[in-house]
Chains A and B, each alone.
Chain A
Amino acid sequence: MIGAGGAGLRAAVAATERGLSVGVVTKSLLGKAHTVMAEGGIAASLGNVDPEDGWQTHFKDTMKSGKFINNWRMAEIFAKEAPDRVYELEQWGALFNRTPEGKISQRPFGAHTYRRLCHVGDRTGLELIRTMQEKVLATDTKVYMETTVTRLFQNDEGRVVGALAYTRETGKFIHFKAKAVVMATGGWGRIFKVTSNSWEGTGDGVMLAYHAGAELVDMEMMQFHPTGMVWPPGVRGLLVTEGVRGEGGLLKNSEGDRYMGNYDEERMELSSRDVVARANYTEVKEGRGSPHGGVYLDITHLGYDKIIQKLPTMHEQFLKLADIDISKEPMEVFPTVHYTMGGIKIDPETAASNVPGLFAAGEVAGGLHGANRLGGNSLSDLLVFGRRAGEGAAEYVKSNGYSTDIPESAVEEEKKRMLDPLQKQGEGENPYHLQQELQEVMMEHANLMRTGDSLKEGLGKVLALKDRLPNMKASGSTLFNPGWHAVQDVNNLVTISEVILRTALERTERRGAQWRLDFDGPDDDLGRVNFIVKEDAQGEVGIEKRDIPPMPEHLRRLFDENQDMSGGEKTGKESQF
């Protein structure tokens, strides 16, 4: 398992339970993965608060929010299995807030029809990761902490048979021999300057898979969370949980106007994330922003006691970092890069990629969320497909017998590539500065509103940066050397950025997170396709437009006859601005 967030740990448990020898490799310490940052809750149709809820409604909400380019089979499996994964967490010691009847409490969240998010205050991700961590610690699984994988090894048949990694502490290389690899490395928010992602979100896994020949899907779809902090500069982009709006938080502009009615009259603040993000962006862009370039998110009416009970982390975060008491004053917020809907294309049943022996789950995998992810769906995604990936990998290993040996020269070549930046003589490029330049380019050209011209300009800039990558240099030794680690990160980030810009140029429409200002609305033809990316024989980005298979009757009939299934919101002002 590469990655020790919710998906990697759940996969490890699944594979260990099937008798496999499992190792988990993580760039950080155990329990620090980005899962810990999830605040609002985990979406599952338990129906504890709204008994009308069921998998069908969760499925429909997920497909609608994803504008119907989601993999419908993934969404179906997901909606059906999410409740069991939540109960399983409880079985393993996770504790959620309770209803008066003694059941798991569920809170409302953006674009979920019913109250569906199981939560514990605003630290649900911490509860999930700690539960999984302690579960894994009680098994035979080996955990390799602070270890970074740099390349997947494949045998002559193209099967993945292991990986090379280095330990961050000493820089010592480890050649992992593995009959199957589960990629669970999360997303790549760090290509943007303003992001809620930690340093880890550098897309290592998606690039490892891409270079091994894996197909990627929906790479143009980056989620901007509507509410990130804006001040002070050091915390810009830091997440303000959707739970604030779930608990009744109101968005207002500098004129004191509760403007969401102009964008989604029905759902207001609890509209889907893409809609609220664009609304916040537009208010600021049109001059109705706060002093630090945000909009106001006001929860003061909830009162101090309720805020401390339901949103304690937010209260502390603003008080400590921004000198704001959110029980007395509104917060200033602005969209922040949060999540990558796209990623490695997987088989919904087994989480297998097209590369034999390579599986993927969680944020690094694509397909479930389509053009826009619903809040709370990521945590249940981690568990549902983490488990399936672990089981899929176990079945694959049991039914395939082959050697994991590869020529020593391949290992040596990769070590040499990794060490090269440390051995460079003379002047070289500072990887930190290259990353900053890249982040500026992506902020400017691939933000939540896009145009063809701007994307093309951005692509030109990214390709120019790509030419400079071989010049990167790191000083110091291999001993815990972040500058050296950054070289590898930047190599990945630049290629991912190129992929995003190229696919964003292909999707010439407005759909979910992909909002092309130079096109009027959704394009029905594009609503029936995914853009699939695969490295071509020359090592260049290959893009294929691939039809989405038609939804089977038993799923199709869940939607009203009159429902617009093209994924566009053709009525209402939101789609027009």
Chain B
Amino acid sequence: MSDRTNITDIAEMAHAPAYNDDAANTGETRTLQIFRGDGEGGSLVPYEIELIEGMVVLDAVLKIQAEQAGDLAVRWNCKAAHCGSCSAEINGKPKLLCKSRVEEYDGQEIKVMPLQAFPVVKDLVSDVSWNYGVSAQIQPFNPGKEQAPFTMYEEDVERLYEPKKCIECFMCQDVCHVLRTHHKHPEFAGPRFFVRTQWLEMHPMDENNRLQFLKEGRGGVQYCNITKCCSEVCPVDIHITDNSIIPLKERVADEYYDPAKWLMRKIRGNRRNGSANGNGGTRASHKRAEIRTNG
């Protein structure tokens, strides 16, 4: 035994210090309205639960699942706002359920619905597989002949950290009216993938050119009329409109509407924007992964 410790009761030491769960019970109850149903339809069903101190809406949903409705479908993984799985809508606004404290809604109803820009699977789960299909159509990172380790300085890459924070919760996709209201899914990639395209385009070692994808391909960046709805809901505070979409729109405008560039393109074909060592309009071939969410 060390001089600090004097454990006389070994068995006692082997038991983890008990937390007092009861102390966290507030003694209050709260009712949540949760969508129960599937793609065919459904309704909001009220569930009353005991309120626990600091509880987030995901805690409440999981408590309901364990105690009242075993088959209540909800998607979640990390419960720490790192993975972006538990996105749904609370009172009509996209939210990470793991990051939304119940007490934020004091004095209001809490209505939890699945993301609305995608087909509903069941209860709080939407079919977001469309996003993975779009992702597979973006040309991946391509450093050409350069071999890592790369020499890149902090000032070369610091603007890439922000778009790389994306946790793929798809809430920006959910709130974007081009998708949500106008259902342009076949010809518009959505904010999430402008964020991805931005870091790829701005990566100092990347040699691919994705401007054609943005303008003529299924990127469809011109559909965005910069209402900034996406930026407002981003749980990791990416300034999607200002830092991703507008710079991409500017690049597209430069490439397609600058008369000198237009002429050059006619003569020499597409080249990497601003790069002298582009590959003359050839596009790195890449195969598309097949994504399935069901058999």
Contact = CB atoms under 8 A, between A and B. Distances in A.
A and B associate in one complex: yes
Interface of A: 28-34, 36-37, 46, 87-88, 90-93, 95, 97-98, 100-104, 120-121, 123, 125-127, 130, 134-147, 167, 169-170, 172-174, 194, 198-200, 230-236, 238-239, 259, 262, 281-282, 284-286, 289, 292-293, 313, 316-317, 320-322, 334, 430-433, 436, 443-445, 447-451, 453-454, 474-477, 479-484, 486, 517-518, 573, 576-577
A434 to B, nearest CB: 11
Contacts of A474: 70-71
A198 B79 contact: yes
B11 interface: yes
5 contacts: A92-B140, A127-B164, A140-B290, A232-B55, A233-B53
A134 B291 CA distance: 12
Contacts of B121: 169, 480
Contact of A95 (B79, B157, B295): B157
B52 interface: yes
B77 A140 contact: no
B14 interface: yes
User: Which 10 pairs across A and B sit closest by C-beta, in order of nearness?
Assistant: A232-B54, A483-B70, A476-B71, A93-B141, A432-B66, A480-B73, A90-B148, A234-B59, A573-B2, A102-B151
Contacts of A28: 75, 77, 85
Interface in B13-47: 13-17, 19-21, 24, 38
Given A29-B128, A126-B164, A577-B7, 15 more contacts: A37-B83, A90-B150, A95-B199, A102-B153, A127-B164, A130-B168, A142-B290, A145-B132, A169-B293, A194-B16, A321-B56, A444-B16, A451-B10, A479-B73, A482-B71
A334 B19 CA distance: 11
Contacts of A199: 76-77
A138 to B, nearest CB: 4
A138 B140 contact: yes
B228 interface: no
B152 interface: yes
A480 B122 contact: yes
B52 to A, nearest CB: 6
B14 A447 contact: yes
Given A98-B152, A140-B289, A479-B122, A235 B295 contact: no
A275 B232 CA distance: 43
Contacts of B132: 29-30, 137, 143, 145
B99 A432 contact: no
Contacts of A98: 152-154, 157
Contacts of B167: 36, 126
A70 B19 CA distance: 34
Contacts of B123: 480
Interface string B160-190: 1100111110000000000000000000000
Contact of A233 (B52, B148, B152, B203): B52
B5 A577 contact: yes
Contacts of B71: 474-477, 481-484
B130 to A, nearest CB: 12
A198 B78 contact: yes
A322 B54 CA distance: 7
Given A36-B83, A231-B54, A453-B11, A170 B294 contact: yes
Contact of B148 (A88, A97, A293): A88
B141 A92 contact: yes
A284 B79 CA distance: 26
Given A98-B157, A293-B17, A143 B83 contact: no
A453 B13 CA distance: 13
Name, among A29, A36, A321, A484, the residue most crowded by chain B CB atoms within 10 Å (CB to CB): A29
A355 B65 CA distance: 38
A576 B65 contact: no
Nearest to A518: B10
A138 B136 contact: yes
A329 B32 CA distance: 33
Contacts of B199: 95
Contacts of B52: 232-234
Contacts of B156: 102
B287 interface: yes
B129 A145 contact: yes
Contacts of B236: 316
Interface in B61-99: 65-67, 70-85, 99
B289 A142 contact: yes
B82 A97 contact: no
A135 B291 contact: no
Nearest to A334: B17
B18 to A, nearest CB: 8
A30 B131 CA distance: 11
Contact of B293 (A167, A231, A316): A167
B147 interface: yes
Given A102-B152, A449-B13, A143 B294 contact: no
B286 interface: yes
A98 B5 CA distance: 44
B135 interface: yes
A30 B291 contact: yes
A239 B80 contact: yes
Nearest to B128: A29
B221 interface: no
A385 to B, nearest CB: 21
B268 interface: no
A430 B70 contact: yes
B82 A135 contact: no
B266 interface: no
A509 B43 CA distance: 58
A282 B19 contact: no
A90 B53 contact: no
